[in-house]
Structure formats: structure tokens, C-alpha cells
Structure 1
Amino acid sequence: MKTLPLTRNLYIISGCNGAGKTTASYTVLPEMLNCQEFVNADNIAAGISPFNPASVALRAGRIMLNRIDELMREGADFAFETTLSTKSYVSLIKKARSLGYKITLVYFWLNSPQEAIARVATRVTKGGHDIPEDVIKRRYYGGLNNLFKLYKPNCDLWMVVNNTTEQPELIARGEYDFSELIFNPDIWNIIKRQAV
């Protein structure tokens, strides 16, 4: 398949559960990146079944993938959210690149699975959706592992942001040609150790 010039944008908003992906997306995407399309399976599930979104999670995931395909066919700029805990988006990224999409990945990192569990618990007290602790832990490490092994090498631009503290901190960024800028080597080394 012939690859088109990169004239469209696909933003992947990623990180473990509770990392602040959705919250950041509502500001960063429309206001800073002028991206008006944000596809989020959690929001879709809540729209289908507000009182029991977990019961329609698979259906919401299918709707999300269909919407992504539709947006790619239209050539629209868009973003989607993921924990990166599965390999399923690698083929989607490759397809998007062949259609002329520049792939930008932002990974919101928290310093531990326990921090992620605590944030999800806080979200639940405010009416948000719950996720079992074992799933949060599995996704925490799986997402970091896949970030390094699968997703970074397939993105045109990637950034890792420490979202543990009140003020987010850019830890590292890189480009498709494997060039990296490390802004906080101590935290970056912790993240790399967690990804193993």
C-alpha cells in the first residue's frame, strides 16, 4: 500500500487507569491542538448504559473502532484514549500512517499501580466508573511494556508526562527516527524499569 504524505493528525491519549487521560483530553485536544473528535470507549459505554457501563464495554469498544474507521475514511483529525495494555492498536496506527496520518502519542504516567487504584477510587466517589484492582495493576504494567516495545517505535512523535503530582511534568519525548530528549533522567529510568 502506498503511503501518503503526513497531512492529518491522530492523537493517542494513553496511560494507566486513573492517570487523567480524559481530563487532559478535554483541554488539550480542542484548545491546544484544535482537535474536535475524541473517541473514548468509556464515554460511549456511559452513554449506552449510564448506571452500568461495564455491562456494555465490549459493545462500546466495537462502536469506538467503527468510529475510528469512519474518521480515517473521512481524513479527519481525531484522538482516541487507551491504556495501551493490548497490542490491538498497532495495526490501526500502521493503517493510519499509510493514509497520511501523523501519529502523536501522549502517555500520562503515574508513579505506581497503587496511585492508579487510589485515583480510580476517588473517581468512583464522584460518580465515575470503577475498575477492579487486579485489572488496574495488569493494565499499569502491560501498558508501560507495550509503550516501549510496540507503540513508541510506531509513532511519529511521543511524549511521556508525569501526571502523579498536581503539576504535570514532561519527562521525555521522541520522534519516529528514535531521537529522544530526556528531561528528567531519574524518573525516566524508573519508568523504563517498570516497563520490563
Structure 2
Amino acid sequence: MNGYGVVHRSDPCVMELVSRLAREPWTDRPACVHPVLSAVARAVHDHSSSAGRRELLPLAPLFLDTASPGFEPSARLVALCVSTALAGGELAGDERRRLGAAHRTALHLLGTEEHPAGSARWWLPVLGHRSEAFYRTFVATEHAAEAVAVAARTANDVRLKSLLKLCLAAQPSPSCSASAQNSGS
């Protein structure tokens, strides 16, 4: 664990509510949600006040069926979160370096940067067809969580919720939601 999500949760997390809506086991990592989007939601939750956490709960249905594969959804979320963190301005040297490398790698995966940065220069070619799952599950989730934690230093609940809503809007539209499938209508 990277430490960005190590916060005592006295309020239910929006991801836990999503797991219930999707009829999955109670978890803050529901399978129906893209892992990077889930990491962003948990980080926003962890850095929000109690009132801010309650304000996130109505967003729960929007997370259903966002678990699309491919580099693009993960890289888009990382680029958005890192851009927000870098715009905040309060970064230590190592944070600026790490987030800058994460941003350049995300842009590379989106096709706008020629070469990946940081350790991605080595693991992308070595992992081959497994690199997308590795990026989506491990690398991008860490980059997004760190970016939210950095952005939270200068952001209030409203700005954190806005970032989460931007991340939701950046996701491809689901074909149908789990709640619609289960309602029979």
C-alpha cells in the first residue's frame, strides 16, 4: 500500500455504495468500476471532510459499468488527475518529478507524447501484451491516487468533487447499468 489511502473511514465510501448497487460483495474496489476511477474516488473520499464524503454518495450510480479495458481510459484519468495536481503548485521536487513522469507516460499512451517517462521506459516493452493490465491495475492507480493526494493540499471538498466528476465524465458511456439490468424494466 502506498499510504495515500491509509485513512480511517468513519463514513461509508462511495465505492462501497457502488458495490451494493452492483450487487457485488461489500468492497471499496467493486469489479464493475474501472480500477483507476475507483482509486480516484477512494482518494477523493479520504481527503474530503465528513460533509464532503456525504456529497459524493449521490454520484454512486455513475460509476456502474465503467470498467473498460485498454490504455486510453487509464491514461486519460491519470493525465487529468496529474494535470490538476501540477496546476496546484504545491509540490516537493520528488513529487514534481514523479508526477511529471506519470503525466508524460499517460500522454505517450494517449498517443500525444513520443516516449514514455520514468520506469515505464522499461516495463512497457518488457511486459508486452500484459503491460495494459499492469498499468491499469498497479501503475495508473498509484499515479492517480498520488495526484489526488497532492491536489487535495490546495483543494476543498467542492474542488475534489469537481475533479471526481471530471473523471466520471471522461469515461466512455456504459452500454447499460447493472441497476437497469437488474430492475427488469
More strand by share: 1
1 or 2 for the larger relative contact order (CA 8 Å, sep ≥6)?
2
TM-score, normalised to structure 2's length? Answer: 0.27
